[in-house]
A and B are shown apart, each in its own frame.
Chain A
Amino acid sequence: DIQMTQSPSSLSASVGDRVTITCQASQDISNYLNWYQQKPGKAPKLLIYDASNLETGVPSRFSGSGSGTDFTFTISSLQPEDIATYYCQQYDNLPPDFGQGTKLEIK
Chain B
Amino acid sequence: NAGVTQTPKFRVLKTGQSMTLLCAQDMNHEYMYWYRQDPGMGLRLIHYSVGEGTTAKGEVPDGYNVSRLKKQNFLLGLESAAPSQTSVYFCASSSAPPSSLHFGNGTRLTVT
Q: Do A and B come from one complex?
A: no
List chain B positions with a Cβ less than 8 A from chain A: none
